[in-house]
Amino acid sequence: MTSSAPHGTYDFVIAANRLPVDQQVQPDGSTAWKTSPGGLVTAMESVMKGREAAWVGWAGVAGEAPEPFDDDTLRLHPVPLSTEEHNEYYEGFSNDTLWPLYHDVIVPPTFHRTWWAAYRRVNERFAEAVCEVAAEGATVWIHDYQLQLVPAMVRDRRPDLRIGWFDHIPFPPVELFAQLPWRAQILRGLLGADFLGFQRADDARNFARSCRAVLGATAKGEKVEWAGSDDGRIGAAPRTVRAAAVPISIDASGFRELADSPAVRERAQAIRASLGDPEVVLLGVDRLDYTKGIRHRLRAIGELLEEGSIAPPQVTFVQVATPSRERVEAYRMLREQIEGTVGRINGDFSHLGDTAVHYLHQSYGREEMAALFQVADVMLVTPLRDGMNLVAKEYVTARHDGKGALVLSEFTGAAEEMRNHVYLCNPHDITGLKETILRAINDNPEEKERRMKALRRRVRTHDVQAWASAFLSALASAPERPTRKEVR
């Protein structure tokens, strides 16, 4: 198929809000790019081998974008965002409209027409950049909720491309999604893809049901068919797409190797000693986000301390809360609430030298995270809603000693895969959560090891490399399912 837009030379193009690099200031004052470590980068490395690949994304600095440049074998193509666009498209529409709406409206979403206008404009810019770098017939993989209009915007310009989109966060039930004033435009934007990947089958079904209810599309099994529209707006052409679950994972072998290193083992011992060698360490590690259920967790911990079911120095709780989206009001309020609660708990239940809750509002390197996981006798992953939750998968991968126990919320994508071997909880049920935490502490060691072994096997065999190739096989054969042979 031919089209009029100019073509690039890259046969594999990734589009994500952020480029996988950060600008760093060198000691001499000059700046250099440093690859940001992360599962997505590792996953992409595994599928980019032997391909001419480009990554389109924002470089993380508002204002003029740097010229496209090469990082090893990957072409990086920065998309500029002004400060105002960053405020309206990213912090506004992405993080204060879509994020709360897609996470069960835990806080109310904010709807502003100016934010929507910025979202559309920035999505358009991403689409133009994708078309500029993509070769004839290239495969394009678009990531996440910040770029939901890009699939149709790219297809309108370049029908020769094979377009996939992956949703890292939940897709809400239509009863909530329908609140969005721009719901039809978002669905039309997404239907520009050939394949839409979700964390859970329920997310894919929510999407299909929304297409039916909002656009009048038909949905049979994993296929969504839309007759199109003659209004000439973005994404007007008839479409048949496939929407299905492809749960994301972590670079299990890389993380296992790191966690198994002598340096990390030593660090884990040092951390345990610095906590006063407690009998039981409870750990939570989350971005400081209202979706992660940190307030509910603290409530449960506070009550357990009050009842005397747990007490320092024998039992201590470490909560790492990674700084996040600090310019969005809901996040500022959450931080105040959490820090107030931690202060009250420690005021009531800590003694000199024995802290009930260790609260760390900081970011750490991978080694430190792996060491912390090894110290955690019980890991508390209790979000109110979470697309997947990679911390759960990292925790079990770090436990090369086969010990530890994972308390996991049923409202995470991870629970779909891990529910049979975790200590499953409903974080809204504080009494139930307390019981589950105590069960995870007190269960017999053989039972814990049996569970941990099964969890470790699951993550080892379903790692991020397997995720990326499953996604690409699904994309290549969409709207049909790939045959067994096609799944690499």
Chain residues that interact with ligand ADQ, rule: CB under 6 A: 168-169, 248, 285, 287, 320, 322, 362-364, 369, 386-391, 394
Kindly report the backbone phi and psi dihedral angles of residue 230, in degrees, each rounded to the nearest multiple of 5, phi listed first: -105, 25
Nearest in space to 315 (alpha carbons), one of 354, 344, 285: 354
**Residue 135 C-beta: closest distance to ligand ADQ, Å:** 28
- Length of the chain counted residue by residue: 488
CA distance 268 to 281: 12
**Residue 233 C-beta: closest distance to ligand ADQ, Å:** 30
Q: Which is nearer to ligand ADQ, 196 or 304 (CB)?
A: 196
CA distance 205 to 208: 5
Q: Which stretches of 159-217 are assigned E, i.e. beta strand? A: 162-166, 195-198
Q: Which is nearer to ligand ADQ, 235 or 427 (CB)?
A: 427
Could you tell me the two tokens for 215?
């656009």
Could you tell me the two tokens for 132?
């500029």
> Hey, is 409 helix, strand or coil?
strand
Q: Which is nearer to ligand ADQ, 10 or 290 (CB)?
A: 290
- Helix axes 366-375 and 390-398, enclosed angle (nearest 10): 70
**Residue 355 C-beta: closest distance to ligand ADQ, Å:** 18
**Residue 469 C-beta: closest distance to ligand ADQ, Å:** 16
Which amino acid appears at position 264 of this protein?
Answer: V
**Residue 48 C-beta: closest distance to ligand ADQ, Å:** 18
- Helix axes 252-259 and 366-375, enclosed angle (nearest 10): 70
**Residue 436 C-beta: closest distance to ligand ADQ, Å:** 20
Q: Which is nearer to ligand ADQ, 215 or 391 (CB)?
A: 391
Tell me the Cα Rg of the chain. 23
**Residue 41 C-beta: closest distance to ligand ADQ, Å:** 12
**Residue 289 C-beta: closest distance to ligand ADQ, Å:** 6
Which amino acid appears at position 381 of this protein?
Answer: V
**Residue 369 C-beta: closest distance to ligand ADQ, Å:** 5
Nearest in space to 248 (alpha carbons), one of 484, 433, 39, 25: 39
Element (H or E) spanning 22, and its range? strand 21-25
Q: Which is nearer to ligand ADQ, 166 or 177 (CB)?
A: 166
- Between the alpha carbon of residue 157 and those of residues 57, 134, 148, 153, 279, the distances in Å are 19, 12, 16, 7, 61
**Residue 320 C-beta: closest distance to ligand ADQ, Å:** 5
Q: Give CA 272 to chain center in angstroms.
A: 29
Residue 37 contacts residue 49 (beta carbons within 8 Å): no
Residue 417 contacts residue 462 (beta carbons within 8 Å): yes
Q: Which is nearer to ligand ADQ, 206 or 389 (CB)?
A: 389
Q: Which is nearer to ligand ADQ, 193 or 217 (CB)?
A: 193
Q: Which is nearer to ligand ADQ, 433 or 464 (CB)?
A: 464
**What is the β-pairing status of strands 69-71 and 74-78?**
antiparallel
CA distance 54 to 66: 15
Give the 3-state secondary structure percentages of the chain, helix then strand then coil, rounded to 5.
Answer: 45, 20, 35
Q: Which is nearer to ligand ADQ, 377 or 394 (CB)?
A: 394
Could you tell me the two tokens for 196?
């839409």
Q: Which is nearer to ligand ADQ, 9 or 362 (CB)?
A: 362
**Residue 439 C-beta: closest distance to ligand ADQ, Å:** 23
Q: Which is nearer to ligand ADQ, 177 or 226 (CB)?
A: 177
Nearest in space to 54 (alpha carbons), one of 4, 92, 9: 9
